[in-house]
Structure 1
Amino acid sequence: MHDFPVEPTADILSFYTVYMCHHIKPTSVASYLSGIQNELEPVYPNIRSICRSALVRKTLLGCKRLLKSEPTRRIPLELPHLEALVQSLGQSPSYDHLLFLAQITSGFYGLNRLGELVWPDNRKLQSYANVSMRHSVDLIIDQYSYHLPGHKSDRSFEGNRIVIQAVNATHNPVLLFKKYLQARDSLFPGRPELWLKADGSIPQRRWFIDLLHHFLPDGISGHSLRAGGALALALAGVPPDRIQDAGRWT
């Protein structure tokens, strides 16, 4: 169709890369090139070196930069969202709703990743090495803290202490946490885990996300807790380096 020679060269594969990147996602073109290598290697033994040539690699890299898809940005959780949640669930008799309120406010004010509050849905990825324990809780009048055993930026594997202070609002995280802790200790006095559902299991990601989507607008995700908490600190005038330390960003 394009009157190109049949024998593959770096120029031919470079043209092919540009052509395909305008019809499919550039990230998929690398798989196509891999398939070409497997199919043509018996006939053209040097096809792998051609595909790995600087021209082909840089062409693909340039196409990825020029034609990349726009990222899907999630809405940060905001204070009105927390207020609305407390109005909806604050008087609920459900223990799990109380757990959800305590976790979402802890995640917001403690700049927690969702994976630091709940277990993955995949059982193979669930580990007690990442579970906060009840005995690590330090509770005083206007603040509470608990030990975060590990997270992905914890290079020393020492964990961090999450400290959350009271705020003058209906979604005061200290009051919600105390209320949850009282209910949790009444139901599970002998269990070591800090976060427990009414059935005695550790909350999982799907459970949390389902409640999040049920009570909050579309676009709110698990990352919205951490992003919203950081945004709230920035709007309050907290210096960026303090926010970085609080969020355990390296």
Structure 2
Amino acid sequence: MDCLIYECSILLGMAIDNTTAVTYSSANNSYLTFCKLHNLPINPTPKTLSYYIIFQSSHINLKSVTSYLTGICSNLEPFFPEICSNLAATLVKHTLKGALHHRQPTKCKAPLTTVQLQSIFAMLHQSQDHDNMLFLSMLNMGFPGLLHLGERAISNKPDLQDFHKIILHNLLSWVGNDYEFLLPTQKTDTMFEGNHVRISQIIGTPNPQPVMGCYLYSCDQLFPLHPQLWLCNDGSSPTRSWFLHCLYQYCPSEIAGQSIHAGGATALTEAEAPADLIHRAGC
């Protein structure tokens, strides 16, 4: 029985991704702090949850409030089994709806355009610097592949870096004028199987295959024994802040990590790609 309890604890700990667990812990702490500040019992009644939504929506983005509620429910359900039904209460739902209606307009980053992508390519495609080739390859993979920044770069925080999420060099292969690879499991991959991603050229954009070919040649010369696909000149894996630092050297401030995903979806739409294909690729 002790062995079963031990194994159960391990499996329960692996059920939630590390990055999600950190967010859930932050949500739990914010709720407990809110209750302490306002002298409220921590019992998550519909009224208390409604007050929490009102309080938090004036401090953080409402989308984050919704995520926080999910985290609070996950952490407090063992102690307050009724919390899930309380979250579905009319008072809570109407408070969220009212907050959405009352909030300030959402400020979104602009999508990366094909003109901007071509401009970056023109400046870097002849560079012999390994880091420039790395950045250009990551950019030209993310744009047509509709990949999020976290799927190409590792977390800035060492304790959240997970080798199981790193794309491996030996799992990339050429397919005609395209290339494909296995995208490792992410927190949205409930079956933990990963996804096969095929990168093809979008009309009006640089061909991603020769860009990747130049990077791989440089990588093989510098790091012939490293298993990771993405490696900086110093042998480290590129972080999200590293990629954004490179991006901001060529793009205005209204462009960010998610702009590449949005720009790729826009380019596919302009190229009259089927809507279901764009939806599947961007999930």
TM-score normalised by the chain length of structure 2: 0.68
In structure 2, what is the equivalent of residue 112 of structure 1? Answer: 147
CA distance in 2: counterparts of 1:93 and 1:170, whole angstroms: 21
Aligned partner of residue 103 in structure 1, secondary structure: helix
**Partner of residue 158 from structure 2, selected from 103, 123, 141:** 123
State the match for 1:196 in structure 2. 231
| Contact in 1 for aligned 2:46/2:91 (Cα 8 Å) | no
More displaced, 237-246 or 113-122?
Answer: 237-246
Q: In the alignment, is the contact (CA less than 8 A) between 2:155 and 2:161 conserved in 1?
A: yes
Closer/same/farther in 2, CA of residues 56 and 145 from structure 1, 3 Å limit: closer
1:11 equivalent in structure 2: none
Give the deviation of 1:93 after TM superposition. Answer: 2.5
Does the 8 Å CA contact 2:173/2:181 hold for their aligned counterparts?
Answer: yes
- Aligned equivalent of 1:78, options 113, 120, 124: 113
**What is the SS of the residue equivalent to 2:262?**
helix
Is 2:275 aligned against 1:240? yes
- 2:38 pairs with one of 16, 36, 40: 36
Distance 1:57 1:216, change over 3 A: same
**1:100 Cα offset (Å):** 0.3
Q: Which amino acid aligns with 2:253?
A: D
Q: Structure 1 CA distance, aligned partners of 2:131 and 2:118?
A: 18
Looking at structure 2, the residues matched to 229 and 49 of structure 1 have their Cα atoms a distance apart, in angstroms, of 42
* Match runs of 1:1-250 below 5 Å: 35-38=37-40, 51=48, 57=92, 60-61=95-96, 63-166=98-201, 171-247=206-282, 249=283
Instruction: Select between 165-174 and 68-77 the one with higher mean Cα deviation.
Output: 165-174
Q: Distance in 2 between matches of 1:169 and 1:59?
A: 46
- Taking structure 1 as reference, are residues 225 and 49 closer, same or farther at Cα in structure 2, changes over 3 Å only? closer
- Cα gap change, 1:167/1:227 in structure 2, threshold over 3 Å: closer, same or farther? closer
| Kept in 1: contact 2:114–2:205 (CA 8 A) | no
Q: 1:35 to 1:198 in 2, by over 3 A?
A: same
Residues 174 and 55 (structure 1), Cα distance of their counterparts in 2 relative to 1, 3 Å cut: closer
Q: Residues 186 and 55 of structure 1: is their aligned pair in 2 closer, same or farther, counting only changes over 3 Å? A: closer
Shift of 1:231: 1.2
Residue 193 of structure 1 aligns to a residue whose secondary structure is coil
Q: What residue ranges of structure 1 are gaps of 5+ in the alignment?
A: 1-27, 42-47
Q: Distance in 1 between matches of 2:202 and 2:269?
A: 16
* Structure 2, gaps ≥5 residues long: 1-29, 51-88
What is the CA–CA distance in structure 2 between the aligned matches of 1:158 and 1:73, rounded to whole Å? Answer: 32
Contact persistence 1:74–1:220 (CA under 8 A):
yes
Question: Would you tell me which structure has more helix in proportion to its own residues?
Answer: 2
Task: Classify 1:153/1:33 alpha carbon distance in 2 versus 1 (closer, same or farther; 3 Å).
Answer: closer
Instruction: Provide the aligned C-alpha RMSD in A.
Output: 2.9
Higher-Rg member (1/2): 1
Number of matched pairs = 214
Query: How many angstroms apart in 1 are the aligned matches of 2:49 and 2:214?
Result: 60
Structure 1 runs of 4+ with >6 Å offset: 30-33, 52-56
Instruction: Give aligned-pair identity as a percent.
Output: 33
Counterpart-to-counterpart distance in 1, 2:202 and 2:136: 15
